[in-house]
């Protein structure tokens, strides 16, 4: 049996809503076998990130090497990195993995406001990783940082500027845009991916779910544009059906349909991952 296999290289969310936990749930939702290499352990819940414990670079490489040597990898999703040392380690890890699709979610700030990427690591992120991935998926504030652009820069302009840094494809998600529209750019085609905005929804983990859904669909053989369309849909539905009753903060998305399977029909009224979510919706994803 040939089972698609995806590896998430990201941080762990103790609250289970974002990071590798969200990624593995999303992989499973599409019958993609999920594997993980943890970059950092975060102490967090739906309200705040209270502590971050980065793993040593050697531990990150050892996790990736163990997966590559035995199971193999069909696609990679990269989430929270945190430090320059971690970025360098993940660059080495991509050398071990070889030529497979890679999705980079440039996680910088958690939805609760906690900073998840050191300011002095931003240039290393551009130079070491952005330039070599298949798809990079920043939200609007992240895209402005990556592009070195001002507050007025919007999706199409930013997608073109980030593409000039070297990635094969760019998706600027629509959460902070006036309309909930993702912008896809592959160097030739500039495609808008519209989505409905759900102002009352549960958004924790939305950015992780979007990027891991994109990676899962690349592992399944879709091309980047079609994978981006599916990721937009998947994350939107996960936020729409999010678990608002869990925790006192932004409730977690529901990529696995837990509420629906339990007979609750979902909590309803979510935000698309690229609509109203105020940040990457993650502390690791």
User: In angstroms, what CA-CA distances link 161 with 5, 45, 151, 279?
Assistant: 32, 34, 14, 21
Does pTM surpass 0.95?
no
Radius of gyration over every alpha carbon of the chain, rounded to an integer in angstroms:
17
User: In angstroms, what CA-CA distances link 28 with 21, 88, 160, 188, 257?
Assistant: 11, 29, 33, 33, 12
| CATH level 3 topology of 5-261 | 3.40.1190
Strands 135-136 and 75-78: unpaired
pLDDT on residue 176: 55
What whole-number distance in Å separates Cα of residue 263 and Cα of residue 70? Answer: 39
Low-confidence ranges of the chain (pLDDT < 50): 267-282
What whole-number distance in Å separates Cα of residue 266 and Cα of residue 258? Answer: 8
CB of 102 closer than 8 Å to CB of 64: no
What whole-number distance in Å separates Cα of residue 71 and Cα of residue 58? Answer: 20
pLDDT on residue 196: 84
SS3 for 207-252 is: HHHHHHHHHHHHHCCCCHHHHHHHHHHHHHHHHHCCCCCCCCCCCE
Token pair listed for 95 = 């050398």
pLDDT on residue 273: 37
Domain limits, the chain: 5-261
CB of 274 closer than 8 Å to CB of 179: no
Q: How many CB atoms neighbour CB 281 within 10 A?
A: 34
What whole-number distance in Å separates Cα of residue 177 and Cα of residue 180? Answer: 6
What whole-number distance in Å separates Cα of residue 24 and Cα of residue 27? Answer: 5
What whole-number distance in Å separates Cα of residue 76 and Cα of residue 41? Answer: 19
CB of 17 closer than 8 Å to CB of 285: no
In this predicted model, what pLDDT tens digit does every residue of 77-98 receive, in sequence order?
A: 999 999 999 999 999 999 999 9
3-state secondary structure of 157: helix
pLDDT on residue 143: 92
pLDDT on residue 275: 36
In this predicted model, what pLDDT tens digit does every residue of 23-81 receive, in sequence order?
A: 999 999 999 999 999 999 999 999 988 999 999 999 999 999 999 999 999 999 999 99
Packed helices 57-70 and 84-97: angle between N→C axes, nearest 10 degrees: 20
Residue 203 CB partners (closer than 8 Å, separation 6+): 111, 239, 242, 250, 251, 253, 270, 271, 273, 276, 277, 278, 281
What whole-number distance in Å separates Cα of residue 81 and Cα of residue 56? Answer: 12
């Amino acid at each position: 049996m040939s089972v698609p296999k995806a590896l998430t290289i990201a941080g762990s969310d103790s609250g289970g809503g974002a990071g590798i936990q969200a990624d593995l749930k999303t992989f499973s939702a599409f019958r993609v076998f999920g594997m993980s290499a943890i970059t950092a352990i975060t102490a967090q819940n739906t309200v705040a990130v209270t502590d971050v414990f980065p793993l040593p670079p050697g531990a990150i490489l050892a996790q990736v090497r163990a997966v590559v040597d035995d199971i193999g990898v069909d696609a990679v999703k990269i989430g929270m990195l945190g430090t320059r040392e971690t970025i360098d380690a993940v660059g080495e890890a991509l050398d071990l993995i070889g030529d497979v699709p890679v999705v980079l979610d440039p996680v910088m700030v958690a939805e609760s406001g906690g900073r998840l990427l050191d300011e002095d690591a931003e240039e290393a992120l551009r130079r070491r990783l952005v330039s070599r991935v298949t798809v990079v998926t920043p939200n609007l504030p992240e895209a402005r940082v990556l592009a070195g652009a001002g507050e007025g820069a919007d999706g199409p302009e930013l997608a073109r500027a980030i593409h000039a840094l070297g990635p094969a494809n760019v998706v600027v998600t629509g959460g902070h845009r006036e309309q909930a529209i993702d912008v896809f750019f592959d160097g030739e085609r500039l495609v808008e991916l519209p989505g409905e905005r759900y102002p009352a929804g549960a958004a924790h983990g939305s950015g992780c779910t979007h990027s891991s859904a994109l990676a899962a669909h690349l592992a399944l053989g879709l091309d980047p544009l079609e994978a981006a369309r599916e990721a937009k849909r998947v994350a939107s539905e996960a936020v729409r059906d999010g678990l608002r009753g869990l925790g006192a903060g932004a409730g977690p998305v529901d990529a696995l349909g837990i509420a629906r399977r339990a007979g609750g029909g979902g909590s309803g009224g979510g935000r698309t991952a690229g609509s109203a979510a105020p940040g990457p919706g993650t502390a690791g994803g």
